[in-house]
Amino acid sequence: MQDVPSISVAIIGSGGAGALTTGDILLEAASAAGWQGLATRTLGPQIRGGEAAALLRIATHPVECMPERYDLVIGIDWLNAQRFGAEILAGPESLVIGDADAGEPPPILRDGGARVLNIELKELAAGIPGGRPNMIALGVAARLLGFAPEQIDVVIEKRLAEKGESAIEASRAGIRAGYRAASWIDYTCKLAPPPAIEGKRWLLSGNEATGLGAIRGGIRFAAAYPITPATEILEWMSPSLVKAGGILLQAEDELAAINMIIGASYGGTPSLTATSGPGLSLMIEALGLSTAAEIPVVVIDVMRGGPSTGIPTKSEQTDLNIAIYGMHGDAPHLVLAPQSVADCLFTTQWATYLAETLQSPAIVLSDQFMGQARAAIPRPADVAFIGARAVTREIGGTYKRYAATANGVSPMALPGTRGGQHTAEGLTHTEHGTPTSSAEEHVKQLDKRRDKLDGHNYGDHWATVEGDGDLVVLTWGSITGAAREAIAQARGEGIAARLVAPRLLSPVRPKEMQAALVGAKRILIVEQSHSAQFHRYLRAHYELPAEVQVFSRSGPLPITAAEIKNAMLQGS
Amino acid sequence: MQCPAPVYKQADFKSDVKPIWCPGCGDYHVLLSFTRAFAQLKLAPEEIAVISGIGCSSRIPAYTNCYGFHGVHGRSLALAAGLKVTRPDLTVVVASGDGDGYSIGGNHFLHACRRNIDMTYVVMDNHIYGMTKGQPSPTTEPEFDTALSPGGTGVRPFHPLVVALASGANFIARCFSGNPNETANVLAEAIRHPGFSFVEILSPCVTFRPDESKWKEQVHAAPVAATTDPGKAARRLMTDDGFNLGILYRGDRKPFQPASGASGYDLAQLERDFEQ
């Protein structure tokens, strides 16, 4: 047996076969045992039925991306498995296990030279009262990954507690049957034991991490309009906000949602909404209002394939343009992008802090990949970013809501404050907030709103800058994890490369970027966009002092570390 | 020693910003009714938020000495909903017009009535888009000729009071800007009434609808007192002549206020969802 630091598993079945549950249980067991991991789900557009697969990677180290080929592919059945196409691949080292009674694995899984084995999942399940083939598959996976059956039992007992002892017993028996059936397989890899850890592992999705980051950052009001793949943020926040003394209000549409949070924030409550591309398109006009009236709000955009309805269940990095340039007029505002499930927490918390401090809207560009992925991670560190809005409580003399100050931030009088009455205004206004079309006043307020954002000290959080080498991989968002892994792999082959991934996309940081790129000979830009939106953005705002190579392609398939490494090698 | 609460006069609710309205515009009288109602209710200017969208009528917040929000076109009710649920201590009055409120903001009108948050919605209806110089609105008569609709739109006008009733508004009234005393009284009643109160104020546009000068002869007080029966109210509203003034419906639905936990909750407890 050989101890390996990471193993990847794909569990496939038609809808209702229990593939997704099997994956959830495996990740939970791995996390309870101290491993780290990442799990994504892929399924057809049907609400019920169709094809479903749980994709997992479990490791002794942090996991932020999925592999190109899965070590272990288990088909509870293969009914619609061919629909996954290139999304789930197996290679010569892979092991593909299925039930011959439930059909053949699709050619795409066999053609890579994988070893294909048969286990009678259905027949074994039939031998157990209340037995289900997916529990047999779970036992098989547990055995091959090196879990003891008891490690799975713990999770089963927790998850099936409400279903009663007989359901738990049927699952326990199923797991053991699968375990025995897999015991004769000469699978030579075994996960290396997890390192000792302090405290408990966390298991959460990027969307849940986003919700927690928001509440930690001070958000106490959310307006909600459901949209895939952002809904889980709002569903997690709904009871959590109430516990934290906040409120969630369901809106009639995204136009209402964004205006509701502007209203709540005007009243002094840090506020958020979460949406995806189509919703962001509808919110843009009011985001301009939030910029002009200087009302802080946080809008989470969990990006999905576009344009139009696009591919709601798959990831893409193609809302960069609308997030940065969507508003009419000159409307400087904050745009940030988390880089992993764990970073969804930090970046959302930071975005809330920045929005409140700078009295500006902040758009947070998450995406379907990290939003809906579940990760087993160490407990994210507490950070000190808690929204602190400049509020004036004592008004002496005439109050100027939009007073020109040294840093451009004007203390806000909240409704209820005597003497602070003013009208928050979307028209070009004077320092008092009175509408005007004077050129001088117009420029004064444009300058103020630009300067307050540009002049802020964002510290080191503006970007991830790691490693050295004259090759720079310049990327953003959820691709950062795959890029980091590609760089680690390339290092094994003697190539030193640097990772630069801005977390703060607007306002741009030319000086900091220049420092991050010092000494670069070649810059490889990596992004998930058909029209290379990030490349064009970089060209518009930054000096790129080296040869530039672009690896940019659309979704829906995730960009893998292998692809990035190939691009790194190609240019060298 | 505690400071005695100041008593505010009507003039204290008016700002010194000069309105952009045309001379003779009905909205001047609406502004007068607003300030009169606020003084009548013995409110303090800083306890009131006047929220609006875009259009002539939506300019009203800055002409008051209250907190105000002049937002985007058609979305004032949504903005006000977010404010009121998080700041139930404030008196929230939403000001709109027939274009802002019934056309671009139509969907929010339905849902604000349905939601029944405790606020007052005032629509200054002049049956025209005035700020953009005379295009037909959802309440413009089908034969009314404009540059955008030569010969008229041929489209039946919208019936805001009936829509409000069907959608669940808890208080429905119609006023005429030319009767500022009565309008102020109705506004004060509307603000006092719990839940979502809808007050439609017929407010003539002297510039693009000079024909509306005859409204002052057409309006008349409702012949019967306000009903609390929505069925009766529906029949009355569907059959009245559009110039029937007064409080026409008073509901008794409980205002909506979303749940919220106590403050002082230890956020670390939220992390338990995620711990393994």
The domain A208-377: what is its CATH number?
A: 3.40.50.970
Q: Do B269 and A243 touch (CB under 8 A)?
A: yes
Chain A: closest CA distance from residue B48 (Å): 8
CB-based contact A12:A78 (threshold 8 Å): yes
Residue B4 falls inside a structural domain = no
Among B75, B110, B258, select the one facing A247 at the smallest CB separation.
B258
Phi, psi for A203 (deg, rounded to 5): -125, 115
Q: Helix, strand, or coil here: A100?
A: helix
Q: How far is Cα B253 from Cα B124, in angstroms, rounded to an integer?
A: 25
Q: What is the CATH number of the domain that holds B269?
A: 3.40.50.970
Query: Which structure tokens are listed for B116?
Result: 């029944």
Same fold, A2-191 and A208-377: no
Domain assignment present for residue B222? The answer is: yes
- CB–CB contacts below 8 A, A to B: 185
Average pLDDT over residues A471-489: 98
Alpha carbons B149 and A398: distance in angstroms, whole number: 47
Q: Residue B206 in contact with residue B22, Cβ under 8 Å?
A: yes
Where do runs of H (alpha helix) occur along A420-517? 439-454, 479-492, 510-516
CB contacts, 8 Å: B51 with chain A: 263
Dihedral (CA of B60, B65, B69, B75) sign: negative
pLDDT at B117 over 90: yes
Most A CBs within 10 A among B35, B67, B267, hence the mutation to make, goes to B67
Beta bridge mates, B171: B197, B250
For residue B273, pLDDT over 70 is answered with: yes
pLDDT recorded at residue A196: 83
Q: What is the mean predicted confidence (pLDDT) over B72-86?
A: 98
Helix axes B160-167, B230-239, angle to 10 degrees: 160
Contact A264, A298 (CB under 8 A): no
Interface of B with A in 62-121 (CB under 8 A): 62, 65-72, 74-76, 78-87, 89-90, 107-108, 110-111
State the residue for tokens 């091959």. Answer: A144
Considering only CB atoms, A249 lies closest to which of B81, B264, B275, namely B81
Residues A256-263, mean pLDDT to the nearest whole number: 98
Q: Tell me: pLDDT of B1 over 60.
A: no
Which range (A44-53, A87-96, A539-548, B106-115) has the least confidence? A44-53
Residue A263: which of B74, B79, B259 has the nearest Cβ? B79
pLDDT recorded at residue B263: 79
Q: In Å, how far is A498's CA from the nearest CA of chain B?
A: 33
Q: Choose among B70, B82, B258: nearest Cβ to A259.
A: B82
Domain A461-571 has CATH 3.40.50.920: yes
Q: Cα torsion at A315, A316, A318, A324 (round to 10°)?
A: 60
Query: In this structure, are strands A51-59 and A6-14 parallel, antiparallel, or unpaired?
Result: antiparallel
pLDDT above 90: residue A254: yes
- Which pLDDT belongs to residue A388? 87
Mutation site for A-interface testing, chosen from B20, B87, B167, B276 by largest number of A Cβ within 10 Å: B276
Q: What is the rounded average pLDDT of the residues A241-248? A: 96
Tell me what pLDDT residue A47 has: 65
pLDDT in the model for residue A200: 84
| Shortest distance, CA B216 to any CA of chain A (angstroms) | 32
Task: Name every residue whose Cβ is closer than 8 Å to that of residue B198 and which is 6 or more positions away in sequence.
Answer: B113, B121, B123, B160, B161, B164, B169, B171, B172, B173, B190
Q: Which pLDDT value is given to residue A202?
A: 95
* Omega within 30 of 0 (cis) for the link into A45: no
The CA R_g of chain A, rounded to the nearest whole Å, is 26
Q: Say if the Cβ atoms of A415 and B46 lie within 8 Å.
A: yes
Classify domain A2-191 by CATH architecture: 3-Layer(aba) Sandwich (3.40)
Domain boundaries defined on chain A: 2-191, 208-377, 392-456, 461-571
Partners of B17 on chain A (C-beta within 8 Å) are 434
* C-alpha to C-alpha distance for A33 and A26, rounded to whole angstroms: 11
CB B82 to CB A262 under 8 A? yes
Range 119-158 of B in CB contact (< 8 A) with A? none
- The dihedral region occupied by B14, where left means phi > 0, alpha psi between -120 and 50, and beta the remainder, is beta
Q: How confident is the model at residue B9 (pLDDT cuts 50, 70, 90)?
A: very high
Is A286:A333 a contact under the CB 8 Å cutoff?
no
Number of Cα atoms under 13 Å in the Cβ half of residue A269: 28
What is the four-CA torsion angle of A500, A503, A506, A509, rounded to 10 degrees? -40
Rg for chain B, CA atoms, rounded: 20
* Domain extent at residue B36: 20-273
Q: Give pLDDT tens digits for B149-176.
A: 999 999 999 999 999 999 999 999 999 9
Looking at residues A381-392, what average pLDDT do you find?
89
B218 falls within a domain: yes
- The residue assigned the tokens 């459901």 is A226
- Separation between Cα atoms, residue B91 and residue A568, nearest integer Å: 62
DSSP A311: B
Q: How far is CA A104 from CA A107, A116, A548, B34, B241, in A?
A: 9, 10, 46, 76, 75
First to last CA, chain B: 56
Whole-number average pLDDT of chain A = 95
pLDDT surpasses 90 at A394? no
Whether residue A355 contacts residue A297, with contact meaning beta carbons closer than 8 Å, is answered with yes
Hey, what are A521's tokens?
Answer: 């000979």
**pLDDT tier for residue A158 given thresholds of 50, 70 and 90:** very high
SS3 letters across A225-257: CCCCCCHHHHHHHHHHHHHCCCEEEECCCHHHH
What is the C-alpha separation between B39 and B45, in angstroms, rounded?
Answer: 9
A357 near A411, Cβ under 8 Å? Answer: no
Chain A residues with beta carbon closer than 8 angstroms to that of B275: 200-202, 379
Cα(A45)–Cα(A47) distance, integer angstroms: 6
pLDDT at A204: 97
Option in A221, A418, A434 nearest B82 (CB): A221
CB contact under 8 Å between B108 and A204, yes or no, is no
Interface test with A, best of B60, B69, B266, B267 (most A CBs within 10 A): B69
| Residue that the structure tokens 């592919």 belong to | A73
**Nearest residue on chain B to A237, alpha-carbon basis:** B270
Residues of A in contact with B78 (CB under 8 A): 251-252, 255-257, 259-260, 263
Residue B189 falls within a domain, yes or no?
yes
Burial class (CB in 10 A: 0-12, 13-18, 19+), A254: buried
Find chain B residues with C-beta within 8 A of A215's C-beta. Answer: 267, 270
Q: In chain A, which residues have their Cβ closer than 8 Å to the Cβ of B267? A: 215-216, 244
Instruction: Give the per-residue pLDDT at A102.
Output: 84
Chain B residue with Cα closest to A214: B267
- The 3-state DSSP class for residue A181 equals helix
Mutate to test the interface with B, among A421, A431, A437 (most CBs of B within 10 A): A421
- Cβ separation of A266 and B69 shorter than 8 Å? yes
Does residue B191 sit within a domain? yes
Beta carbons of B70 and A426 less than 8 Å apart: yes
pLDDT grade, residue A296 (50/70/90)? very high
pTM of the model: 0.97
Residue A57, phi then psi, degrees to nearest 5: -135, 130
Take residue B175 and report the two structure tokens written for it. 């006023």
CA distance B11 to chain A (A): 15
Looking at the partner chain, which of B49, B62, B82 has a beta carbon nearest the beta carbon of A415?
B49
Residue B9 lies in a domain: no
Measure Cα distances from A506 to A46, A219, A325, A345, B157 in Å: 37, 21, 10, 19, 46
> Mean pLDDT, to the nearest integer, of B226-241?
95
Task: Flag if B71 and A253 touch (Cβ within 8 Å).
Answer: no
Residue B5 belongs to some domain of the structure: no
Chain A residue at shortest CA distance from B92: A415
Per-residue pLDDT, A127: 95
Taking the CA atoms of residue A297, residue A300, residue A305 and residue A307 in that order, the dihedral angle to the nearest 10 degrees is: -10
Q: Quick one: tokens of B178? A: 């030319």
- Report the alpha-carbon distance of residue B79 to residue A377 in Å, rounded: 39
**Which pLDDT value is given to residue A572?**
59
Per this entry, what is the length of chain B?
Answer: 276
Q: Cβ–Cβ of B83/A416 closer than 8 Å? A: no
φ, ψ at A407 (rounded to 5°): -100, 5
Nearest to A342 by CA among A371, A318, A362: A371
Residue in A242, A252, A264 closest to B82 by CB: A264
Per residue in A316-360, pLDDT (tens digit) is: 999 999 999 999 999 999 999 999 999 999 999 999 999 999 999
Q: Residue A197: what pLDDT?
A: 78
B chain contacts of residue A375, beta-carbon cutoff 8 Å: none
Distance between B113 CA and the closest CA of chain A, angstroms: 12
CA A207 to chain centre: 7
pLDDT in tens, A160-182: 989 999 999 999 999 999 999 99
A288 contacts in B (CB within 8 Å)?
72
The whole-angstrom distance between B103's CA and the closest CA on chain A is: 14
pLDDT at B39 over 90: yes
3-state secondary structure of B250: strand
- Rounded to the nearest angstrom, the minimum Cα separation between A105 and chain B is 35
CB–CB contact A415 B62 (8 Å): no
Report how far residue A189's alpha carbon sits from residue A24's, in angstroms, rounded to the nearest whole number.
22
CB contact under 8 A, A244 and B274: no
Angle between helices A149-159 and A19-33 (to 10 degrees): 120
CB contact under 8 A, A242 and B270: no
Backbone angles phi, psi at A338, to 5 degrees: -70, 165
- The b-or-e profile of B150-166 (16+ CB within 10 A means b, else e) is eeebeeebbbbbbbbbe
User: What pLDDT is recorded for position A15?
Assistant: 83
A451: tokens are 């300067």
Q: How many angstroms separate the CA of residue A431 from the nearest CA in chain B?
A: 14
Give the model's confidence band at A386: pLDDT under 50 very low, under 70 low, under 90 confident, else very high.
Answer: confident
Structure-token match 């004060």, residue found? B188
Nearest CB among B44, B86, B107 relative to A267 is that of B86
**What's the number of domains chain B is made of?**
1
Q: Do B87 and A269 touch (CB under 8 A)?
A: yes
d(CA A305, CA B251): 47
| Nearest chain A Cα distance for residue B183, angstroms | 24
- 8 Å CB contact between B201 and B175: yes
Which residue, A395, A358, A373, is CA-closest to A477?
A373
CA distance A104 to A86: 17
Q: Does residue B134 belong to any structural domain of this protein?
A: yes
Q: Across residues B179-194, what is the average pLDDT?
A: 98
Q: Confidence band (pLDDT; 50, 70, 90) for A1?
A: low
Task: Give the residue among B13, B37, B14 at the shortest CA–CA distance from B192.
Answer: B37
- A133-145 and A149-159 helices cross at what angle (nearest 10)? 140
Q: How confident is the model at residue A150 (pLDDT cuts 50, 70, 90)?
A: very high
